[in-house]
Amino acid sequence: MADLLLGQTLSFSADPFAEGAGAARHERQGAVLIEDGRIADLGPADRLRAAHPRARVTDYGAALISAGFVDAHMHYPQTAIIASWGKRLIDWLNSYTFPEEMRFADPAYARAVAARAFDLTLANGTTTLCSYATIHPESVEAFFTEAEVRGLRALAGKTCMDRDTAPEGLRDTAQSAYDDSKRLLETWHGRGRLGYVITPRFSPTSTPDQLSALGALWAEHPDCLMQTHLSEQLDEIAWVKSLYPTARDYLDTYEAHGLLGPGGLYGHAIHLTSREKARLAEVDASLIHCPTSNTFIGSGLFDMAGLTATGHRVGLATDTGGGSSFSMLRTMAAAYEIGQLRGHALHPAELWWLATQGSARALRLDDKIGNLAKGMEADLAVIDLASTPAIEQAAARAETIWEAIFPTIMMGDDRAIRAVWVGGTPVAKGQA
Ligand code: GUN
Ligand code: ZN
């Protein structure tokens, strides 16, 4: 049976960074028709009600119906160590992250944390994750199994580390990384709504041999995405320079091994040289901005205004557990704050686009998810724009949709998520 959802609707006909806030389409009394897991129609409530009299109606009143959020870079295995105190990147990895990731040799633990990560992110309105797993193939199996149970579109890959900069017990080899990644890719890539992502963690924890092996795997499977980290902290960049003395820059450590291309997702990308920026634009790679992580770990201020002006493909992400929140609302707020610190106020339309269609575009899934449009998969978040007394009183003064949304962007959390739909089915409360 078809479902007709009533509420305010927000969709995009273009990229607001290129076209301005007019790229957003807002319907105050709108409706979304869902049939067979997809959006079958979208428009004014009156027209859709008349056209689809037999559809089952769910009326969300003044709540905002949006595409579900897309988190383009996160580490589900770091769910339990979110908000760990006092370290910068390399110490944070050694003190908190690597010890926790060792636990994922246990498939039962991996399943339990994957389930928890999906429950937490769904409760925050996030319907697609692009996650790193750990070096253990079991951790990838756990992620995809839990995603499949929930019917989610989801992406992940086995994190590869073969250098002695990673601790004993958390290392693979160039060959085993290639073999395990290939086997997992063949099992999971394109199965239902799942996608495999080739995942060298970052240059400092891989040997050139491993980077080459994964570059070769990517060349054999160019329809897969490849994710890694790039230029997150200055200490990290100096470390890369010492480990790869002949590389022109950090990006070159990937480029020289076949790991630079259009399906490449480069997390953080804060301290880029002009050569790196030019190459990333030239190949149309994706830069993934992780603002709560960048402030929490003290990494730096991503140049959103500059990089979008030069046409770079940018997505938005939590980077949990380096990021300090599972919420893409909180993540939009942090992106706004970083923009302000760089002297540029991001428009709410730009922030919302980044958290939905922009991230989907960065993951090259924008023809499937991240927007309300006919034919798109029906992954939706329904947002209460008055979810707390503080938000309610600020939004009460709004004269435009953007003034109504912005208090929720800045102060909203999981309490603002009224409902979530995945593949055309409502996620039960309590389950999300
Ligand atoms: N660089 C390499 N690994 C990681 C990670 O797990 N988190 C973050 N924030 N940066 C990284
Ligand atoms: Zn990361």
Q: What is the pLDDT of residues 77-98, one digit of tens each?
A: 999 999 999 999 999 999 999 9
Q: What is the CATH number of domain 3-68+371-428?
A: 2.30.40.10
Tokens of 168: 């004993």
Question: What CATH class is the domain 70-362?
Answer: alpha beta
pLDDT at residue 428 in the model: 80
Q: How confident is the model at residue 430 (pLDDT cuts 50, 70, 90)?
A: low
Residue 322 CA to ligand 2 centre (angstroms)? 7
Whole-number mean pLDDT of the chain? 98
- pLDDT at residue 219 tops 90: yes
For the chain, count helices (H), then strands (E): 18, 16
- What is the arithmetic mean of pLDDT over 189-210? 98
331 Cα–ligand 2 center, Å = 14
Alpha-carbon distance 199 to 425, whole Å? 31
Confidence label for 16 from pLDDT (cuts 50, 70 and 90) = very high
Residue 18 burial (CB count, 10 A): 10
Residue 239 clears pLDDT 80, i.e. is over it? yes
User: Measuring CA to CA, which residue among 197, 251, 194 is closest to residue 222?
Assistant: 197
% residues pLDDT > 90 (the chain): 99
Ligand 1 mean position, distance from CA 321 (Å) = 9
Q: Residue 254 pLDDT > 90, yes or no? A: yes
Provide the pLDDT confidence category of residue 64 given band limits of 50, 70 and 90.
Answer: very high
Instruction: Indicate the residue type of 413.
Output: D
**How much distance in Å is there from the Cα of 325 to the middle of ligand 2?**
13
3-68+371-428 and 70-362 agree in CATH topology: no
Report the pLDDT averaged over residues 407-412: 98
pLDDT of residue 42: 98
Contact 60, 418 (CB under 8 A): yes
CA–CA dist 156, 130 (Å, integer): 6
Ligand 1 binding pocket, CB closer than 6 Å: 75, 89, 93, 97, 201-202, 229, 232, 293, 319, 322
Q: Hey, which of 71, 87, 97, 230 would you mutate to test ligand 1's pocket, going by the most ligand atoms within 8 Å of its Cβ?
A: 97
299-326 tens-digit pLDDT: 999 999 999 999 999 999 999 999 999 9
Provide mean pLDDT across the span 377-404: 98
What are the residue boundaries of the structural domains of the chain, listed by start?
A: 3-68+371-428, 70-362
The pLDDT of 36-48, averaged and rounded, is 98
Predicted TM-score (pTM) of this structure: 0.98
Question: Going by CA atoms, what residue is nearest to atom 11 of ligand 1?
Answer: 229
- Element of type H or E holding 389: helix 389-395
DSSP 176-224: HHHHHHHHHHHHHTTSTTEEEEEEE--GGGS-HHHHHHHHHHHHH-TTS
Q: Is the peptide bond before 424 cis (omega within 30 degrees of 0)?
A: no
Do 219 and 258 form a contact (C-beta atoms < 8 A)?
yes
The per-residue pLDDT for 332 is 99
- Region 49-53: what's the mean pLDDT? 98
